[in-house]
Chains A and B, each alone.
Chain A
Amino acid sequence: EVQLVESGGGLVQPGRSLKLSCLASGFTFSNYGMNWIRQAPGKGLEWVASISSSSSYIYYADTVKGRFTISRDNAKNTLYLQMTSLRSEDTALYYCAKGPRRGYYFDYWGQGVMVTVSS
Chain B
Amino acid sequence: DVQMTQSLSYLAASPGESVSISCKASKSISNYLAWYQQKPGEAYKLLIYSGSTLQSGTPSRFSGSGSGTDFTLTIRSLEPEDFGLYYCQQYYEKPWTFGGGTKLELK
Contacts and interface: CB of A to CB of B under 8 A. Distances in A.
Interface of A: 4, 44-47, 50, 59, 61-62, 95, 97, 100, 103-112
B96 interface: yes
A45 B100 CA distance: 8
A103 B94 contact: no
Given A106-B34, A106-B46, A44 B100 contact: yes
22 contacts: A4-B43, A44-B87, A44-B99, A44-B101, A45-B89, A45-B101, A47-B95, A47-B96, A47-B97, A59-B94, A61-B95, A100-B49, A103-B49, A104-B94, A104-B96, A105-B34, A105-B89, A106-B36, A107-B49, A108-B43, A108-B46, A109-B43
B44 interface: yes
Interface SS of chain A: helix, strand, loop or mixed? Answer: loop
Interface residues of B, number: 21
B22 to A, nearest CB: 16
A4 B43 CA distance: 10
A112 to B, nearest CB: 8
Interface of B: 32, 34, 36, 43-46, 49-50, 55, 87, 89, 91, 94-101
Nearest to A49: B95
A105 B98 contact: no
Given A44-B101, A108-B46, A109-B44, A103 B95 contact: no
Nearest to B56: A107
